Structure 1
Amino acid sequence: MAGTTIPNRRAIIDRREVAARLHGLEADGSAALRAAAVEELREAMEKGGAEISARLVARPSHGSIITASYSFLYDQLLRLIYDFTVQRLYSNSNPSDAERLTLIAVGGYGRSELAPFSDLDIGFLTPYKQSPWCEQVIETILYTLWDLGLKVGHSSRSLDDMVRMAKSDLTIRTALLEARYLWGDETLYDEATRRFYVEVVEGTAQAFTAEKLAERDSRHERMGDSRYVVEPNIKDGKGGLRDLHTLFWIGRYVHQVRDLGELVEHGLLTADELKQFRKARTFLLAVRCHLHLISGRPEERLTFDVQPEIAKRMNYAERTGKSAVERFMQHYFLTAKQVGDLTGIFLAHLDEQYGPRGRRFIMPTLRRKPRKLNGFTLDRGRLSIPHEGFFAEDPVRLIELFALADKHGLEIHPTAMRQAGRDEKLVAKKVRKDARANQLFLDVLTSPRDPETVLRWMNEAGIFGRFIPDFGRVVAQMQFDMYHHYTVDEHTIRAIGLLSKIESGLLKDDHPLSHAVMGKLVSRRVLYVAVLLHDIAKGRGGDHSILGAEVANKICPRLGLDAGETQTVAWLVRWHLLMSASAFKRDLSDPKTIEDFVLRVKSPERLKLLLVLTVVDIRAVGPGVWNDWKRQLLSDLYSAAEEMLRLGHMHQGRNSQIEAAQKKLAETLGWSQSEMARHFKRMPKAYWIAENEETAAANARQMSAAEGTNDKLSIAMQPDPERGATLVTIYTADHPGLFYRLAGAVDMAGANVIDARIYTNRDGMALDNILVQDPFGGTFDDPGQLERLETAIRDAMANKHRMKERLEARPLSRTRAEAFHIEPLVLIDNKASNRYTVIEVNALDRPALLNSLTHALFQSKATIRSAHIATYGERAVDTFYLTDLFGEKIVNSSRLKALQKRLLKAAAAPKEEEQEAA
């Protein structure tokens, strides 16, 4: 893409000066002469590369100039190599017609878009089959480039070969489309260009366009079909450089344009849109150059570890509520969104040119024709506008456009989307206060059809953020962590889509409880508005739940919600993390957990609303975050809270619950009355609340079998696909430090503890029920895995190995987490339980963290009664229910301080510990 002016080119490389040095080289034989030339060229290349890198530091956002500068450097080097080869090494003063050769740049190099570690894509063209002289020259040029350490993509073809292969291979055709003359026989290059357009391109524009768009869709699907993934691929991801290239390829193929500016002449872009195209391209190229230089290789993925460094290099500064890296990534996502807008504009023109009358080129056909469109029109089955001034006449139509699209199941014509994007500023205070506009927006948000798609269109056009300015503040806003996979706006729109699918029954099998609850709600629109607003105050420098509740109190009346609905939405936004925190970080068998939760929720309707809001919030975080274990915990909490809200006082229900559990177990086991009585007597009360019927029966049989065979260490493993985890039960004599050894053994076997219930029977035996998963959140159920885990547990119990040293010696597998710093935090709560001291530890997740923490508790002479392990990306949140050695709460303040200090030290990453020691 020509048109970029490179300042002071000779400071990068002075071809005349280098040519003079090459001309003056003397050596014995061609091999020695070429070796001497390579050293001269290497010096020039390194000097030029250093100059360009310095320019990137000085002007870190000038991506187009930098990539053009790299291209210029290699243009000059290739010309020098070519001339040196044909003049000094293989001189040919009277070449025949067959001994003509042209050197061309193709692909990204042809576009003059070379990043620091990009491949050098070149082509050699000959008029006919290669002559021996051409073969020698080509081979020598390539060897010289390889000796310089360059990664070269190359091809050698005759003109006939070029035409034949371009016709049959889309990749070759695309590369040649961007071919640029470098050096050699210009007449041959002109002939190649003429033949390419006459014999390959002519008459195939429609087919090429369709193939390129199909290729683009396939690439998006492969990369994850969202431009808002928080570790985007800058080249191939949605909204990345390749999307811009696709548009330019199509424009060049259809209209044979040679420069971006010509797209305006052909009506493919307006002057403003061309400006946006260039701005997006420059930014993305700058980011790519920084990414290559930081990585030291041709890296295209914008991973967490490089994002802060690029933000620093590109001079992003911290602002209230937003770190420098979050501001940089928001700029990136806004640029990706702009690329998406430009893509839509191109598709509109292509559709006009190639879509036969009555059907659409890219979109599916319309099923039915709506009657009332209030002045809007249909263009080949898509909702459109009669003229450019249509929205200006009545700006409420900018909301109505999307409401009609939803109501009638229509797609919006790209020209209407284009005009809506241009007119987005018409959505001002007057429109936001308009009752009809607010009702239309609420209709879209709470649509029983497909609100996710229509809201996404509204967001792409910029109307969503204009109509709800608070939402506009989180558009393209990322959260710099490994837990959230999408930007805030994308997460919110996905959550609304999931809510709609759960309600309609599309996800009934995945979420039966949530689907059932949805049908019993008094006000479904309260839930949809709460999902819209639950994260709306992120990035404001405070608790987004509290700030979001304030936003809800402001927005809900505007949308037409009454005072009661507004209060409920504000409460849901304020406490939208309450249910997940209670379910994942607290012991649900402890009555105080349920009491505290119910005390906050207060009503069955709020409980229903909070359950579904929690489910869609977790599911919309990203793939792999939701699992059966989380579903089970939330269902258990919901059931317990619903029962308490329905029946009232908890303790009466608790005693009857214990009796019912014991009665069921007696029926299942069929043991004698005396055997059952003995078993009931030895187990603590908490056991009967915590464990389900199947687990209690399995535990009883295991304990009986172990006593029958005098087994000192009984280990049972039962994969539980319903919970997506494997239950590991250890029955052995209780002793201090038992659990920390078990935690280390589980880690050594490559599993993760997600929950643990630890019981000391009245006869001094320990029964530990530990739930484990594989590192990907799946059931740890492979026979080899289970065998390895049992061996690790037996070795740990026998103290065969020095567990701590073995764990610390293992290489850290989760290197991505090293991009983050989490200050360890230890919270001690003596009010969360009537019987136990509850300690919550927040720390950077790493292998053997649980072992380190439980060893610290062992050293502190604290007894672990249950442990609940949650992981949020790179952040581990481990909660322990503790007593002292006498079974009492730990209340002594100096002991609690010492315990906190020891846990903080254990939670610190090993590197941090070393730094402290130094």
Structure 2
Amino acid sequence: MPSDPARSKFRGGPVPAAPAAGAGPRPSAGPSGVSTGAADLARARQQLLAAGTRLDAPALRDVLVDLFEVWLHTKGAELGIKPDSGFAIVAVGGLGRREMLPYSDLDLILLHDDANPKMLSHIADSLWYPLWDAHIKLDHSVRTVRQALDVAAGDMTAALGMLEARHIVGDSELSAQLLSGVRQGWRDSIRDRFTELVQQAEQRWERNGEIAHRSEPDLKNGRGGLRDIQLLNALAVAQLTDPAPGFRSDGNSGRLQAAHRRLLDIRTQQHRVAGRARDQLRAQDADEVAAALHIGDRFDLARTLSDCARTISFSVEVGVRTARNALPRGILGSLRKLPARRPLDEGVVEQGGEVVLARDARPQRDPALVVRAAAAAAVSGLPMSAGTLGKLADTAPELKAPWPREAVHDLLVLLGSGRQLIPVVEALDRTGLWGRILPEWGAVRDLPPRDAIHTWTVDRHLVETVAYAVALSTRVSRPDLLLLGALLHDIGKGRGGDHSVVGAELAVQIGRRMGLSAEDTETLSDVVRHHLLLPHTATRRDIENPDVVHDVVARLGGSRVLLELLHALAEADSHATGPGVWGEWKATLIAELVSRCELVMAGEDLPQQDPVPAELLPHLKPGAGGEIPVRVRLVPADGHHMYELTISGPDKPGLLAKAAGLLSLHSLRVHAASVSGVEGAVLNVFMVSPRFGSPPDPGFLRQELVRAISGSIDVIRMLDERQDLAVRVLADELAADPAASGVTVPGSTVLGTLPAAVPIQYPDAPPIVRWLPGSREDEGILEVRSADRLGLLCRVALALEGAGADITWAKVATMGAYVDDVFCVRFARGAGNEGRARADAAVRMVLPKPAPPKPPTPGVGEN
């Protein structure tokens, strides 16, 4: 509303006319034309805002509310606006919410019960003119209850304002009719208005950006601002969610209310400093605002704002999702069955488009459940439900050192999910769960950057770096250390000293707690310590100088693995810093430096076959008939739910492929595998963990493997059916026709009834296939780096065998969402390059293709 509105018009009401005889006197004015009462009101407000006032921000708002209410009560009594008068003054906006800021508009509705136009004109004229003349910003309307309800029914902004309306003076019954009518109308129409409500919020976020990551944020309209609190209140009035969604756990109760109050305090002080109504916090005012609120300096203020805004944003995301699921569905919708519960992982299921805990899950006895549930949410692209987050926050203990191996695996799966990682980590962090996984995170949480080139807070920058590193994971031999290094490379910030040195020490602490090997922990620490080495050297020194190159090689200890990790991290870190930080010039310089370092390091150790452990040699002995039988042994290994599965048999094509396929069909995750051939026999040693429950009986596995080798079971067909089933069930759910919790696959004698699964969304890293020379002329060593998928080892092995390549030995490593598999294959005599080309093409055909990149969209789903 303009500060000097045209006095001849009243929005939604009659045009004020000159008072007729008997209509009462025109409001008195002093020599300056300002009503004495309104002048006192303006003067009192200025005295409250004068420099040196001792009122803090909350007290100032309370006093301003009292000041305006007293004036309205006095003026209302003067004009005859009393109980049973047929008139009422209703406040909306800041006064309605009891959040009156120093220079907020005064938003009022003059309600009347079909009053005489002349009397109405006189009362409205007498109420508005003094406020205008006192230069108090006024947004006003004159309406009957019916007119106000009609406006609320047709105007979303007006409806949201009236939901927070409050009776001030006059006929309380009249006000009650409006307040109850607006709320009831809002509940009745929310099914039809919900989409418009969310779209309006998304458009506002797109216009004003995220408060947490803006140097001059809009505290009212930005994402995570005060308008989002009003959005949550509107959803709560519609009885679709509670007023603080996402923070119902004991440890987090009150976080949303605290963030709301803090944001109000900052905006209140911004009004004071600016001397006017301003929604945007200007950089030049930040230090003064921070000092007045005893927060510290502008960096401390930015950190406080980030915490508040991200807390509110998370609550809005949960609230909108909860509200969408709770929308009235009509008569036919109410007859639909409850959503099916589909297993995602041990103790984790999908229900109604959210990740929830299984009914038999016991978080207090399963510390790794937090990481497992987060990984399931990330790879499925589904959000964790508020109830699940709350229950985990209240009951899940911290992981004890060293972590079980499967917990590290699940963390790597979470990190390897690309941009789907971001909302999951945000949800865990806002509910206190991420800090249990990484206690060191507290120092960088909401920490603002110290230079303008950075787009994100330090903690969000780390997560963004991981998301960018995912696309580079297949370029390195250790994608697990790349993702961990990306997550931790700036973990030393906010603690004083050189953050690379401090972070390297923390990386050792974290690596040991996770149970990484001493060698991997040292490499992770070196990644953090030297993460700026390549970009700083390439852009600040003469890389054509051999001494410079030798210095880099010496600092890396001659490690090619460390060099390739730092090269990938430099690119991901630059992309995550901000637009334009990674360009052709920088990329070319770093690539040239890396190339020169590789020449100095020279040579590459080729993979070698693992020796057969002596205790497993008896498994390779022939049976009574002279044939080598298929044998299966399953024994517990170190770690929770980890097993060593040994499968031996005659050295014939298909054993590795079909064994690996059966493991996938029985929900056994392969973390590592070694295949060795010895004198006509082959030994497959798998490190596995069951995705659900306990592993199958080894005798049953042997029986099914024999059938698979004989051709009685088509493993590939069953893997395809499992994948198609997941897609089909998900489509049924989206079509509002929930499938049964179990679906029988025709012709399947191995699995019987398969649980309906949610399709996994593959990361965006392109697969890499490279060939190395073998020890013989007819051999080749194939290395495959790829995102993992259902039955990938089975498919690759069958592709090689189908192309005429005999697998003599293999090493398999699964690192989170990625695999690095090495196969030594032998070709038919004389096949040469032609056989290698056929095998290469066959393998590439079965590798998962990365999804096309999707730009992040503003709105509910990503913070």
TM range (shorter): 0.5 to 0.7
User: Could you list the per-position Cα deviations for residues 401-459 of structure 1 after superposition, in whole angstroms to 9, with x for gaps in the alignment?
Assistant: 11232344443222212322334xx4336276444433322332234784444333333
2:73 is equivalent to residue 79 of structure 1: yes
Do the aligned partners of 2:62 and 2:99 also contact (CA within 8 Å) in 1?
yes
- Secondary structure at the residue paired with 2:455? coil
Distance 2:506 2:451 in 1: 25
Q: Secondary structure of 2:110's partner?
A: strand
**Which of 63, 70, 76 is matched with 2:64 structurally?**
70
The answer to whether the 8 A contact 2:26-2:126 is kept is no
Distance 1:477 1:267 in 2: 23
- Indicate if the aligned counterparts of 2:476 and 2:565 stay in contact, CA closer than 8 A: yes
Which residue in the other structure is 1:312 paired with?
A: 291
Counterparts of 2:122 and 2:315, CA distance in 1: 46
Aligned mates of 1:577, 1:533 — CA distance in 2: 13
Find 2:143's aligned residue among 153, 157, 162: 157
Q: Hey, what's the Cα distance between the residues in 2 that align with 1:226 and 1:525?
A: 33
Q: Is the 8 A contact 1:478 1:486 kept in 2?
A: yes
Shift of 1:230: 4.8
Deviation, structure 1 residue 29: 8.5
Match of 1:38 in 2: 35
SS in 1 for 2:284: coil
Percent identity over the alignment is: 24
Equivalent residue, structure 1, for 2:565: 609
Q: Residue 278 in 1 paired to residue 275 in 2?
A: no
Q: Give the letter for the 2:305 counterpart.
A: Y
Unaligned regions of 5+ residues in structure 1, if any? 1-27, 318-323, 504-517, 650-918
Rounded Cα–Cα distance in structure 1 between residues aligned with 2:596 and 2:531: 21
Cα distance in 2 between the residues matched to 1:613 and 1:545: 14
For 1:559 and 1:73, the matched residues in 2 are separated by 59
1:186 aligns with 2:163: no
Q: 2 CA distance for matches of 1:618 and 1:214?
A: 33
Backbone CA RMSD of aligned residues: 4.0
The one-letter code of the counterpart of 2:135 is: G
1: CA distance, partners of 2:531 / 2:205: 32
Of the three residues 377, 385, 390, the one matched with 2:362 is 390
- The correspondence for 1:297, drawn from 253, 266, 276, is 276
Task: Answer yes or no: is the 8 Å Cα contact 1:438–1:558 preserved in 2.
Answer: no
Q: Which amino acid aligns with 1:134?
A: L
Q: Deviations over 1:236-295 (max 9, x none)?
A: 22322222221112222438x9xxxx969x999689866334322221211111111112
Which AA in structure 2 matches 1:296?
G
What letter is aligned with 2:205? H
Counterpart CA distance in 2 for 1:132 and 1:116 is 35
> Could you report, residue by residue, the CA deviation over 1:586-641 in whole angstroms, capped at 9, with x for unpaired residues?
4567776656555545454433322221222122123x34353xx32331232244
2:591 maps to a residue whose letter is: Y
- 1:625-658 Cα deviation digits (max 9, x unpaired): 4353xx3233123224413541689xxxxxxxxx
Counterpart of 1:76 in 2: which secondary structure? Answer: helix
Q: Which of 112, 115, 127 lines up with 2:98 in the alignment?
A: 112
SS in structure 1 opposite 2:102? coil
Q: Which one-letter code corresponds to 1:646 in the other structure?
A: L
How many Å separate the matches in 1 of 2:249 and 2:385?
18
Secondary structure of the residue aligned to 1:483 is: coil
1:332 is aligned with what amino acid?
Answer: L
Specify the SS of the correspondent of 1:383: strand
Which residue is 2:7 aligned to?
Answer: none
Please state whether the residue corresponding to 1:430 is helix, strand or coil.
coil
More deviation, 66-75/588-597: 588-597
Contact 1:116/1:292, CA 8 A, preserved across alignment = yes
Distance across 1 between alignment mates of 2:541 and 2:379: 44
SS of the residue 1:125 aligns to: strand
Q: 1:414 to 1:270 in 2, by over 3 A?
A: closer
Say whether 1:581 aligns with 2:536.
yes
Q: Does 1:523 align with 2:478?
A: yes
Unaligned 5+ runs, structure 2: 1-24, 603-863
Alignment of 1:337-356 (within 5 A): 337-343=310-316, 346-347=319-320, 349-351=322-324, 353-354=326-327
Following the alignment from structure 1 to structure 2, what is the Cα–Cα distance between the partners of residues 301 and 45? 24
**Structure 1 residues 463-478: aligned runs within 5 Å:** 463-478=433-448
**Equivalent runs, 1:86-105 vs 2, <5 Å:** 86=79, 100-105=86-91
C-alpha separation between the residues in 2 aligned to 1:347 and 1:376? 23
Deviation digits for residues 56-95 of structure 1 (CA, Å, limit 9, x no counterpart)? 74545xx3x43232222122223334445x37xxxx99x9
The CA deviation at 1:192 is 3.0
RCO comparison, higher one (Cα < 8 Å, 6+): 2
Give the secondary-structure state (helix, strand or coil) at the position aligned to 2:141: strand
Distance 1:42 1:596, change over 3 A: farther
**Are residue 219 (structure 1) and residue 216 (structure 2) matched?**
no
In the alignment, which residue of structure 2 is the partner of 1:857? none
Match of 2:505 in 1: 550
Go from structure 1 to structure 2 and tell me whether the alpha carbon gap of 1:524 and 1:134 turns closer, same or farther (over 3 Å shift).
Answer: same
Q: Quick check: 1:230–1:487 contact (8 Å CA) kept in 2?
A: no
Structure 2 match to 1:373: 345
Instruction: Give the match for residue 484 of structure 1.
Output: 454
2:586 aligns to what? 633
Letter in 1 for 2:274: S
Counterpart check, 1:288 vs 2:254: no
Contact 2:504–2:525 (CA under 8 A) maintained in structure 1:
yes
Question: In 1, distance between residues paired with 2:562 and 2:220?
Answer: 45
Q: Which residue of 2 aligns with 1:254?
A: 239
- Structure 1 residues 443 and 29: CA distance shift in structure 2, 3 A: closer
Q: Counting helix residues as a fraction of each chain, which structure ranks higher?
A: 1
Cα distance change, pair 419–50 in 1 and its aligned pair in 2 (3 A): farther
Residues 214/136 of structure 1: CA separation in 2 closer, same or farther (3 Å cut): same
Aligned residue in 2 for 1:121: 107
Q: Do the aligned residues in 2 keep the contact of 1:75 with 1:182 (CA within 8 Å)?
A: yes
SS at match of 1:254: coil
TM-score, normalized by length of structure 2?
0.59
1:560-579 to structure 2, matched below 5 A, reads 560-579=515-534
2:577 aligns to what SS in structure 1? coil
Q: Deviation per CA, 1:118-174: give whole Å up to 9, x if none.
A: 121112223338713322332343232122122212222233322222111111111
Q: Does the 8 Å CA contact 2:553/2:601 hold for their aligned counterparts?
A: no
CA pair 352-519 structure 1, distance change in 2 beyond 3 A:
closer
- Find the partner of 1:142 among 128, 137, 156: 128
Cα distance per residue 1:507-554 (max 9 Å; x no partner): xxxxxxxxxxx5442212121111111110101111101111111122
- Residues 249, 391 of structure 2: 8 Å contact kept: no
Paired amino acid for 1:47: A
Give, in whole Å, the separation in 2 of the partners of 1:342 and 1:413: 12
1:353-396 per-position Cα deviation (integer Å, ceiling 9, x unaligned): 32769x999xxx99x98556323333224221245983123232
Instruction: Give the SS at the match of 1:522.
Output: coil
Q: What is the deviation of 1:499?
A: 1.4
For residues 895-906 of structure 1, what are the structure 2 equivalents within 5 Å?
none
Distance verdict in 2 for CA 1:520–1:343, change over 3 Å: closer
Q: Is the 8 A contact 1:273 1:342 kept in 2?
A: no
Look up the match of 2:704: none
Give the conservation status (yes or no) of the 8 Å contact 1:465–1:475. Answer: no
Q: Quote the residue 2:726 is aligned against.
A: none
- 2:231 matches 1:234: no
Relative to 1, partners in 2 of residues 1:191 and 1:527: Cα closer, same or farther, differing over 3 Å?
closer
Shift in alpha-carbon separation, 1:530–1:303, aligned structure 2, 3 A: farther
TM-score, structure 1 normalization? 0.56
8 Å CA contact 1:226–1:238 kept in 2: the answer is yes
Letter in 2 for 1:522: S
Q: Is the 8 A contact 2:552 2:597 kept in 1?
A: no
**How many equivalent residue pairs?**
574
Q: SS of the residue aligned with 1:188?
A: helix
Query: 1:220, 1:168 → 2: CA distance?
Result: 23
Q: Please tell me whether the aligned partners of residues 152 and 158 of structure 2 are also in contact (alpha carbons under 8 angstroms).
A: yes
Equivalence for 1:682: none
Task: Report the CA distance shift for 1:568/1:56 in structure 2 as closer, same or farther (over 3 A).
Answer: farther
When residues 204 and 354 of structure 1 are mapped into structure 2, their CA distance, relative to the original with a 3 A threshold, is: same
